[in-house]
Amino acid sequence: GESVGLHLPTLSVQEGDNSIINCAYSNSASDYFIWYKQESGKGPQFIIDIRSNMDKRQGQRVTVLLNKTVKHLSLQIAATQPGDSAVYFCAETYNQAGTALIFGKGTTLSVSS
C-alpha cells in the first residue's frame, strides 16, 4: 500500500554533530519526495525536495538522498544547531499531479548544546 514511515521516532545529537534522519516508503510508483520540519506549535515547513530521477540534492546545510532500489530516503543535516530541534517528516506524492502528499509519522530531533 501507500505508506511512508520513519525508522526512528527520536534522534538526539550534540550541537555541531551531523544528523541523519531516515525514511522508508512503500510505493515504488512515488516519484516526488519532500522533507518538512515542524517546530512545536507551528505548521510544517518545507525543507527540501527531490524527484525520483535524482539520487541526491543539496541545500543549505541539508542534503537529501534517495535510494529507489531499497525505497529509502534520508535527510542529512550538517553541523546541527539547537534551532534544528523539531519533528521532521518525509512525504511522498501519491498521484501523478504531485499535489497531494502522504506524510510519515515523523522523527523528533533533539539537539543539545
Partner 1 sequence: DAGVIQSPRHEVTEMGQEVTLRCKPISGHDYLFWYRQTMMRGLELLIYFNNNVPIDDSGMPEDRFSAKMPNASFSTLKIQPSEPRDSAVYFCASSLGTGYVNEQFFGPGTRLTVL
Residues forming contacts to partner 1 in the complex (CB under 8 A) are: 32, 34, 41-46, 49, 51, 89, 93, 95, 97-106
In the complex with partner 1, which residue's Cβ is closer, 54 or 79?
A: 54
Q: What angle do CA 38, 102, 64 make, to 5 degrees?
A: 60
Alpha carbon distance 8, 54 (integer Å): 24
Q: What is the CA radius of gyration of the chain?
A: 13
In the complex with partner 1, which residue's Cβ is closer, 17 or 102?
A: 102
Alpha carbon distance 46, 15 (integer Å): 22
Question: At closest approach, how far in Å is the CB of 7 from partner 1?
Answer: 15
In the complex with partner 1, which residue's Cβ is closer, 60 or 99?
A: 99
